[in-house]
Each structure stands twice: as structure tokens, then as C-alpha cells.
Structure 1
Amino acid sequence: MVKIMRYPLSLEPVLRAWRREESGAVTVEFVILLPFMIGLLGLIAAASLYLALASDVQQLSYELARASLPEAQATETEAECDDLGARWVPTLAANLPMLDADRVLDVTCQQDPANDLLQVTVNYDTRGTLAAILGGLIGMEFHSFRRSSFIRW
């Protein structure tokens, strides 16, 4: 035998029962915990963007050090290293998703002929980026990254 279930034709009795319900405990817990959950998600997003941006600035400094290696091997002066940023930053930054070549404040090079080391330092302005804005909302303020790479020739 097959039972046929009957549903009310109107939602009015269901809505009336729902309006009389007074538990609401789950709603109160949800309202209390929601700001903390949103804050935690904001912290995770800001930290992720921070780490991605820092990683890309570090990668840029490493790639610039590699690009300057022929000049560092050819001469003992820093003259060739001075225009390193102007020549290579636009090309290299275009391949790094978090970077904008216009935000690179300066690129400096230091040679240590005694140890055959070349240090390339990149200073990157983060003001106005999504990482800086989200970081500022949760109290994690940073205005620039300064990363260095060393390469031996």
C-alpha cells in the first residue's frame, strides 16, 4: 500500500509556528561569533597578500642580481650597476603577479670583491596596494619592503 503524503496548501501555519519559536540561541551565537570570523578571514587574506608581495619583491631582487652578474664579472666598479633598475625592473616585474614596476623606489648594488659577492637591494613601495589596505584594517601596517639578494661570481 502506498501512502500519499499531504502537505498544507498554505504556508501560514508553518510561518505562525516559526514566529512563536523563541529559542534563538543559535542566532545569538552566530551574531557574536560573526565579527571574529570575518576578522580571522581578513587576517588570513592580509597575511597571504603580505607573504605573496614579500616573496615577489625577494624574487625581483634575486633576478636583478642574476641579471647584473655579467657586469659584475666584467668590472670592479658600480657604474654598470647604477642603471640596473631602469633596464631590468620593467621586464622582470611584468612576470611577477603582485608587483608593479612603477612602485620600485630604488635598486642599489654593492660589490664585495674580496669575497666575490654582489648584493642587490630592492626597495618597493606598498602604499595603496590591496595587501597594505587589508593589513591596515587589521593593524598590520607596512609601507615598503626592502629585500636583498646576494650572488657570488
Structure 2
Amino acid sequence: MTERMRRFLRPEEGAVTVEFVIIFPLVLLLFFLIVFASMGISTASDVQQVAHELARQSIGRLSRSAPVEDVCQDLASDTALMNHLVDQSLLLNPAKLAVQPCPTMPTADGFVTVTVTYNFAGSLVQALGKNFGLNLGIITRSSTVKL
């Protein structure tokens, strides 16, 4: 056998292990990046859903005979409603959810805008974000309805 033929037929016992050691961390990193992005998007979607439901609830609050000074604060103080909305979510913590005051609602055109903020402090999404160099603090979403 020639030298060239021996080099071609040499054993490759450790090749799969070396490939695994090189590729597995990259696959694992990609997996965690997908989980992180999914959790962030899901949380933002849940906050938007809470804002939308609160905006819908504001119609009923403003339709009552007794006037409401600040419909947003009235909605935020309804703990049963807030707990029900947060219970529908997988990632939201009710202690980190805040409804912004809106004393000038409804507008002259009859629109009501409800703004909700969610603080990521201490959450799994923020912890994962720090590992990737992202500083996730507060997410804000608004929803508008016409009376």
C-alpha cells in the first residue's frame, strides 16, 4: 500500500466526539435564544391583551350613571378584574403590572386609551436577557377604544 492510500484509510474513531463537542454548544445557545425570544414576545403579547381588555372594560365603566373621575385608576383598583386578566397569562406577575392614570379620558372624540406597563425586574426573561447582553426593563402597551 502506498503512503497516500494509508492516509486515506486511517481510523476516525474520535471524529464524532470532536464534532459533537464543537456543535452541541452552538445548538444549545440557539435553543436558549429561541426560548428567550419566545418568552419576551409572549410577555409583550400578554401585556397588550391586558391593555385591550381593560380598554374594553372602560366602556362599561364610563356608561354607568355615576361618573368616574379616572377610568384607568378605577380599572386598576378592581383587583378581581386584574387578577382574572393576569390569571389568563402564563408569564405575567400581577405585582409587576401597572395601569397608567388617564384622567382626561374619554377624549372629546369619544376615545379611551388605556396604557399598561410591565416591569421585567427579577423575572426569568430579564435574567436570560442579561446573559445575552440585553437590558429588559419595562414594556409598555396601549389600547384605544371608541365609546
Q: TM-score, normalised by structure 2?
A: 0.78
Alpha-carbon distance in structure 1 between the residues aligned to 2:105 and 2:142: 13
2:37 paired with 1:43: no
Where 2:100 maps in the other structure, the secondary structure is strand
Q: CA-to-partner distance for each residue in 1:99-144, whole Å, 9 max, x for gaps?
A: 1211113433352533221100001111122222222222233112
Q: CA-to-partner distance for each residue in 1:18-48, whole Å, 9 max, x for gaps?
A: xxx6531222121112221111001000001
Displacement after TM superposition at 1:63 (Å): 0.7
2:111 paired with 1:100: no
Alpha-carbon distance in structure 2 between the residues aligned to 1:136 and 1:35: 19
Displacement after TM superposition at 1:71 (Å): 2.7
The one-letter amino acid paired with 2:94 is A
Q: TM-score, normalised by structure 1?
A: 0.75
The 8 Å contact of residues 39 and 138 in structure 1, kept in 2 or not, is answered as no
The number of equivalent residue pairs is: 133
The 8 Å contact of residues 118 and 151 in structure 1, kept in 2 or not, is answered as yes
Alpha-carbon distance in structure 1 between the residues aligned to 2:62 and 2:34: 41
Structure 2 unaligned segments of length 5 or more: list them: 1-10
Alpha-carbon distance in structure 2 between the residues aligned to 1:76 and 1:147: 26
The 8 Å contact of residues 100 and 114 in structure 2, kept in 1 or not, is answered as yes
Alpha-carbon distance in structure 1 between the residues aligned to 2:116 and 2:101: 7
Worse overlay, 133-142 or 33-42: 133-142
Where 1:83 maps in the other structure, the secondary structure is helix
Pairing of 1:3-152 with structure 2 (within 5 A): 23-73=13-63, 78-87=69-78, 88-109=81-102, 111-152=105-146
The 8 Å contact of residues 71 and 105 in structure 2, kept in 1 or not, is answered as no
Alpha-carbon distance in structure 2 between the residues aligned to 1:79 and 1:141: 33
Where 2:136 maps in the other structure, the secondary structure is coil
Alpha-carbon distance in structure 2 between the residues aligned to 1:151 and 1:115: 11
The 8 Å contact of residues 48 and 142 in structure 2, kept in 1 or not, is answered as yes
Structure 1 unaligned segments of length 5 or more: list them: 1-20
Q: Provide the aligned C-alpha RMSD in A.
A: 2.2
**Structure number with larger C-alpha Rg:** 1
Where 1:50 maps in the other structure, the secondary structure is helix
- Alignment CA distance shift 1:106-1:81 (3 Å): closer
